[in-house]
Structure 1
């Protein structure tokens, strides 16, 4: 307990001096020591109920961080004064897992009221989802605080779309302080999960960089018109297991999305990385963990900025 007392004093001094605080893996070691097992249990229960949920929770964290930083803004419901991110193009009828985060947050509030941010729960849930589905683990830096507002316009402008070119994808990631390597390795998250027909229709009908029989098999499910919400796996072999088959499929020109196949389409800057991760699962896992940590540090609210929302769907 004495250690926790002195750590709290040190953290308070740093916040007072700098007006902010650095993220730390030990941020809640004293104030909420049960946090990690609560989140892990909640994620495991959700995935056991629906295997797809692991990918959905990982995607929530991505889409949160790419809009004004990792601040849980994606979780906010619309209000009379604000149109939030849930109805943005990339999220509308697509983003999922809000109820899971609500349930985990409720358990965390019982253990340590008004201490843990929704943004940190999102970051932990993303990591635990990857681990539960067979992927790598990493130490999640913690100490984010929650935003009090959200923006559908910002979400529409900031979240990379499935029809983007490689040049546009590089520009998007660079705008968030992420490298070309981060772009390729984080795209590997598409080794799990599903996508809607409306997201891959143009790729299977209009693109030439797709294997013909693979395109035809998808066309039988996703016609030129209609069936917009019909789902197909991003990894047609193991959509609920985190592995490196995503990259092997890129080599075969069997990516579901245009933006994914763009990573292996004649550019040495990305083609070489795709070859590397397709042949070396350990390298993919190691680099994915590092890139997830980098992504989770995009413009976090820390120190006295933002708040610790009691209900992840609304500001206090």
Structure 2
């Protein structure tokens, strides 16, 4: 590598590092301790209410944080409603109809506005809710650095361009996460969120029928599991609401059942089973499958890091009074 190229690479790395440390300095644990001391408690109460009514909401809120951060950064843009002149992120195919939990965020925001008007951002509410949802499903919680501001732009086209698809192979997954500053190991760790929640049949049905020009079924999918899935997702069904649990053995518990499933070729998505395509990622799957505490600890750390992705701070954004529309 020439000295000029080396200088450019070093400069780029320096700028990225400076940006990350600047954000670390601006986001703070306990950010609302003086401006709205009840903020995290109120969010947790509303998440708990939603969970008690429908325990599947926990998976929805963890997924919402992920889908928010991967599009324009963690700026609450996934919450903005579409208008006659703009189709927003929440109505893009990766989010609609599968993303849920919006009412829980609305409820938390309404309560916060009544006691601390214009103080707590929607982006921070999502981050708190994801942590609380993890705890409610028996995962390890974490301190959430807060101080994010809300974005003013939400485009369906950007959701399609930035969210990793369930059909991705390992290289595509690695590149998608790397574009957000996350390592391959963090990608494997965060994929474990699929241990809770459910999926629409439309996200994986191509693995069951007409996989390619020569195969009807994806050969990386266990045959008996494929038979079970075909019963749950009949070929040619026009029902868009058919869903199956992503980790059938414990769909409401943040455990390592997901990794055990992947080892047994029971990964629901192509992107799940792709984790065995490389020796390094396959080894991480094995380590996670064997040690629940190890994976839960890594998951908490990876969620904190993901929560810094492209955040807006200071005057770069706003604190929305209604999470569904810009001020």
Common fold: TM-score over 0.5: yes
Contact 2:259 2:288 in 1 (8 A): yes
* Structure 1 residue 270 corresponds to structure 2 residue 285: no
Cα deviation per residue 1:153-187 (whole Å; 9 max; x = unaligned)? 11000011111111111111111111001110000
**Contact (CA 8 Å) 2:68, 2:76: kept in 1 or not?**
yes
Partners in 1 of 2:240 and 2:269 — Cα distance? 14
> Counterpart in 1 of 2:265?
253
Report Cα offsets for 1:162-217 as digits up to 9, x if no partner.
Answer: 11111111111111111001110000000000000100111233311111000001
Shift in alpha-carbon separation, 1:21–1:146, aligned structure 2, 3 A: farther
Matches of 1:148 and 1:241, distance apart in 2:
35
Matches within 5 A, 1:145-224: 145-205=149-209, 206=211, 207-224=218-235
Contact 1:82 1:149 in 2 (8 A): no
Distance 1:257 1:182 in 2: 18
Offset at 1:26? 2.0
When normalised by structure 1's length, the TM-score is: 0.92
1:239 correspondence with 2:243: no
**Equivalents in 1 of 2:127, 2:76: separation in Å?**
9
Deviates most, 119-128 or 20-29:
20-29
What root-mean-square deviation, in Å, do the aligned CA atoms of Structure 1 and Structure 2 show? 1.4
TM-score normalised per structure 2 = 0.89
Q: CA deviation at 1:92?
A: 1.4
Give 1:223 shift.
Answer: 2.0
* Correspondence for 2:108 among 104, 110, 118: 104
Runs of 4+ in 1 over 6 A off after TM superposition: 18-21
Which of 260, 285, 301 is residue 312 of structure 2 equivalent to? Answer: 301
Shift of 1:115: 0.3
Q: 1:200 to 1:45 in 2, by over 3 A?
A: same
**Counterpart Cα distance in 2 of 1:154 and 1:36:** 30
How much has 1:221 moved relative to structure 2? 1.3
Q: Distance in 1 between matches of 2:126 and 2:24?
A: 21
Specify the SS of the correspondent of 2:275: coil
- CA deviation after TM superposition for structure 1 residue 21, in Å: 6.2
**Aligned residues of 2:150 and 2:318 also touching (Cα < 8 A):** yes
Native 8 Å contact 1:84 1:152 kept in 2: yes
Name the structure 1 match of 2:42: 38
Residue of structure 2 equivalent to 1:6: none
Which moves more between the two structures, 160-169 or 20-29? 20-29
* Structure 1 residue 19: Cα displacement: 11
Query: Distance between the aligned counterparts of 1:224 and 1:182, measured in 2?
Result: 35
Gap regions ≥5 residues in structure 1: 1-17
Counterpart Cα distance in 2 of 1:274 and 1:19: 31
